Amino acid sequence: MDDLAKKALLPAGLQDLLPPDAAVEAAVAERLLACFARFGYERVKPPLVEFEEGLLDGTGAGLANQTFRLMDPVSQRMMAVRSDMTPQVARIAATRLSHSPRPLRLSYAGDILRVRGSELRPERQFGQVGIEMIGASAPAGDAEVILLAVEALKSLDVSGLAVDLNSPTLVTAELDALALEDAARARLRQALDRKEAAEVAALGGPAADLLGGLVAATGPAKSALGALAGLDLPTAAQGAAETLAAVARIVHEAAPDIILTVDPVEQRGFEYQTGVSFTVFARGVRGELGRGGGYPVGFEARRAGPAEAAVGCTLYLDSLLRALPRGERGRRIFLPAGTAWAAGDSLRADGWITVAGLAPVDDAVAEAGRLGCSHLWAGGRVQPTDGQV
């Protein structure tokens, strides 16, 4: 490996975004935030790094093994680089904004860093844009967040949107009632995660029928909710199922054009969530565009009263960029060296991107082409570089 190649090589999962992708990513984040702002969500900006015990408390606990840590030489305490922004916003809501009126609607955008990428997303650093509603009440709060995520993605012209609604507590309640040993529970959980109907039937014991019914109640919202309503759920799970149905109803009414599916057994990545969770997909796009759901806010150890209910949604910028058409570079015009500043001003006001020559050249047309300009400024007017008018 020569010296230049060594300098160019980045650690696994990290990359440079180049033109036009970097600009597209920034513009996408801006448009999403603008959409959230129109619905009353105000932006917060937490820091990149926090003390470990704060960042990995409560909803953040599930990300402990995905989090980079470093020692703070000043305070001699362990710090952690954020691997998800939701716990940070939850912390802000529980501390500095604990006296702000509820429901508290906040939005955020920023990059996060993870120890390992996944199969579908090898990136270890990627951008998140999201919203959190703290002091939310079901089902209206859940539905608002889902609809707003859909609205924001529609504003970017993402087509074929699909929202999968989940209720992680449904299965947890079932598994708790079974009182299985850890290993047996893990096997059953894995079978549920993979929707292996035969294994669920074999491992489910007295709950096999019910769990099998939950696996079967997966699919388009209408039929799945019908199947779910037909199940003889224990009292603890009935409330969760009703909330799920209510959220589905509101979302379908407001956005009948999106594909709405229900999956009562999906739980991966939702382990710390309560209430309704959801994942956003787009047809033809690999992996998830975003996910969200309900969770409790408040510091586990120091929590004074009952936890506040919150619901949020995070959209992943890297997946979104894959879902969008490649960015355009805009109309570029070459201003040969010596062009008056004022001439450029009026062109820029007309929407041109001006690229100025620094020194006189013999062939201005060729120079314009070399610099990626479709037009040049010559003889006091705009001229195309291909000679046609």
* Residue 372 in the binding site for other proteins (CB under 8 A): no
* Residue 220 in the binding site for other proteins (CB under 8 A): yes
Measured from the CB atom, the residue of 104 and 262 that comes closer to other proteins is 262
Binding mask 134-173 for other proteins (x = CB under 8 A): --------------------------x-x-x---------
Contacts of 243 (CB under 8 A, 6+ apart): 138, 139, 142, 167, 275, 276
Report the nearest approach of other proteins to the CB of residue 61 (Å): 20
Report the nearest approach of other proteins to the CB of residue 132 (Å): 24
Measured from the CB atom, the residue of 9 and 183 that comes closer to other proteins is 183
From 128, 172, 261, 383, residue interacting with other proteins (rule: CB under 8 A): 261
Which 183-212 positions form the footprint of other proteins (CB under 8 A)? 183, 193-198
Measured from the CB atom, the residue of 197 and 307 that comes closer to other proteins is 197
Give the span between the Cα atoms of 189 and 186, in whole angstroms: 5
**Which residue shows structure tokens 């040993």?**
181
Instruction: For 326-388, give the DSSP string.
Output: PPP---EEEE-TT--HHHHHHHHHTTPEEEE-SS--S-HHHHHHHTT-SEEEETTEEEETTS-
Report the nearest approach of other proteins to the CB of residue 121 (Å): 11
Residue 121, φ and ψ in degrees, nearest 5: -130, 90
**Residue 124, SS3?**
coil
* Residue 318 in the binding site for other proteins (CB under 8 A): no
> Residue 97 half-sphere exposure, CB side, CA atoms within 13 Å?
22
- Count of residues that bind other proteins according to CB under 8 A: 29
Measured from the CB atom, the residue of 247 and 297 that comes closer to other proteins is 247
Q: What residues form DSSP beta bridges with 292? A: 278, 313
* Residue 116 in the binding site for other proteins (CB under 8 A): no
* Beta strands 259-262; 290-297: pairing state: unpaired
**Which residue shows structure tokens 């082409």?**
369
Give the span between the Cα atoms of 311 and 104, in whole angstroms: 11
* Residue 118 in the binding site for other proteins (CB under 8 A): yes
Of 1-9, 79-87, 106-114, 115-123, which segment contacts other proteins by CB under 8 A? 115-123
From 8, 78, 120, 229, residue interacting with other proteins (rule: CB under 8 A): 120
CB atoms < 10 A from the CB of 170, how many?
26
| Residue 64 CA from chain centroid, whole number | 19
Give the span between the Cα atoms of 205 and 88, in whole angstroms: 41
Give the span between the Cα atoms of 144 and 105, in whole angstroms: 11
Closest alpha carbon to 36 in 156, 152, 158, 146: 152
Measured from the CB atom, the residue of 211 and 309 that comes closer to other proteins is 211
* Residue 122 in the binding site for other proteins (CB under 8 A): no
Report the nearest approach of other proteins to the CB of residue 11 (Å): 23
**Which residue shows structure tokens 């909330």?**
243
Measured from the CB atom, the residue of 1 and 198 that comes closer to other proteins is 198
Q: Which residues bind other proteins (CB under 8 A)?
A: 118-120, 160, 162, 164, 183, 193-198, 215, 219-220, 259, 261, 263, 268, 279, 281-288
